[in-house]
């Protein structure tokens, strides 16, 4: 089975990527993609939507934090599970596009995690949000444990 390439970028570069898919000349030779859009709690004022090339979009709102801070929102368990299910459900696209504001911390953590989950080589080359990464690692263990116990029960 073909695996998607993983692109991690800033919101500005994600918009440029999507706009290229709208241009007629480029669209004739382009790939399909799914977007994980990680926005700050207040949002960026940008909403990605499904199209003939964009097969699905997951938009989540949490801030780039590794420790709790009043007035800001950290990634939570439900969001981590949404990311995992989205990645698993969209292995058939050519590209998994992951962005946050700068394309450095939150999105890179999700990109590294996605590459591990799908068994795709990915060199982060930089630091990333360790809290987001650990939340995803913990959530996938929980999901796998639940899947394993439900398989045992059904047998």
The predicted pLDDT at position 31 comes to 83
Q: Taking a C-beta distance cutoff of 8 angstroms, is the pair 118, 87 a contact?
A: yes
First to last CA, the chain: 28
Domains in the chain with CATH codes: 5-154 (3.90.190)
- How far, rounded to the nearest angstrom, does the alpha carbon of residue 34 sit from its chain's CA centroid? 9
Helices 77-89 & 106-118 angle (0-180, nearest 10): 50
Closest residue by Cα to residue 106 from 84, 81, 132: 132
Residue-level pLDDT, tens digit, the chain, 155 residues: 789 999 999 999 999 998 888 775 565 566 899 999 999 998 899 999 998 889 999 999 999 999 999 999 999 999 999 999 999 999 999 999 999 999 999 999 999 999 999 999 877 677 899 999 999 999 999 988 888 776 655 55
Where would I find the beta strands (DSSP E) of 11-119? 33-39, 54-61, 95-100
The predicted pLDDT at position 141 comes to 93
The predicted pLDDT at position 135 comes to 97
Between strands 54-61 and 95-100, the pairing is unpaired
């Amino acid at each position: 089975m073909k695996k998607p390439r993983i692109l991690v970028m800033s919101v500005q570069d994600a918009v440029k990527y999507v706009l290229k898919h709208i241009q007629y000349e480029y669209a004739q030779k382009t790939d399909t993609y799914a977007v994980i859009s990680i926005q700050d709690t207040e949002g960026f004022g940008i909403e990605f939507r499904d199209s003939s090339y964009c097969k699905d979009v997951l938009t989540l709102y949490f801030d780039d934090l590794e420790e709790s801070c009043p007035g800001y929102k950290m990634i939570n368990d439900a969001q981590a599970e949404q990311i995992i299910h989205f990645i698993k459900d969209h292995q058939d696209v050519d590209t998994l596009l992951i962005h946050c504001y700068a394309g450095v911390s939150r999105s890179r953590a999700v990109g590294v995690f996605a590459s591990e989950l799908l068994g795709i080589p990915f060199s982060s080359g930089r630091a990333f949000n360790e809290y987001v990464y650990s939340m995803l690692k913990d959530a996938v263990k929980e999901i796998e444990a639940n899947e394993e116990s439900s398989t045992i029960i059904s047998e």
